Amino acid sequence: MIIAMSCTKNWYYYLIIDLYSLLENNKNIQKIYLLLETDNIKDIPNLDKIIKKYNVKLEIINFNNIFDKLVNKGNINRDTIYSNFCFARLALPSLVKEEKIIYIDTDAIVLKDISHLWKIDMTDYYVAGCKDYGIIRDGTYERLGINGKYVNSGVIILNLKKIREDNIQEKWFEVINNNELKYPDQDALNLICQNHELYLPSMYNYTWNVTKEIMCREYIKVMHYAGPKIQWVVDKYYAELWYSVEEKFWEEFDN
């Protein structure tokens, strides 16, 4: 599997917990791309320990200057309640040479083996992700004029080869630069790809405040704590799952 993650420097701590959870539960990681505010491994505490333990091939890309080239200055979709680094996933087709990649948000933890995702046939699809039930309730379909699928972008498989062939990245950023969007990266992704998206089971991106459905903890493969980050996971459902991973991390690396 080839994985990508992105975040600003104030989320490096959570990035490490996310990486730890991924590597503890998955043994077939070929490479990981990190799109960050730096390209220096020393700027991310404990990342060197992660690399040493799991012997993982990792590449850091500084997304700061790249962002300014993609999203016009003064654009209304910049500097919103969402980090500008939410656009990093949409830049992957031009930043890496891979044909396929799995993107995972930093506000998530991987609780089980997710290797099945890598085996999914993406030939006819640009993206695969879990259905975002929240947008059904907030009128997003009507707002965007979408008649097809709409996925949550927290955990997605991107068919980078097909995206490049059909110039989809350019179309994403054209939408972003010419429209006011409620969920900037996610709206652009779904608006362009709506007829070439594949739904994944919710266990691969379980987000309680999106689905509003209780899932047995034993079935959750990726827990995604989407939503306001004022208190992080303190008051969120299934918060104990995140804290259990954090505790295990420090038991192993606190030396």
Q: What is the pLDDT of residues 21-75, one digit of tens each?
A: 999 999 999 999 999 999 999 999 999 999 999 999 999 999 988 988 988 888 8
| HSE-up (13 A, CA, CB side) for residue 90 | 29
CATH number at residue 174: 3.90.550.10
How many domains in the chain? 1
CA distance linking residue 20 with residue 232, whole number of Å: 18
Contact 197, 148 (CB under 8 A): yes
pLDDT in tens, 122-181: 999 999 999 988 777 777 877 888 888 999 999 999 999 999 999 999 999 999 999 888
Domain range for 19: 2-253
Q: What is the DSSP letter of 211?
A: H
The overall average pLDDT reported for the chain is 91
> What pLDDT was estimated at residue 212?
52
Type of residue at 169: Q
> What pLDDT was estimated at residue 111?
97
> What pLDDT was estimated at residue 214?
61
> What pLDDT was estimated at residue 165?
97
> What pLDDT was estimated at residue 211?
54
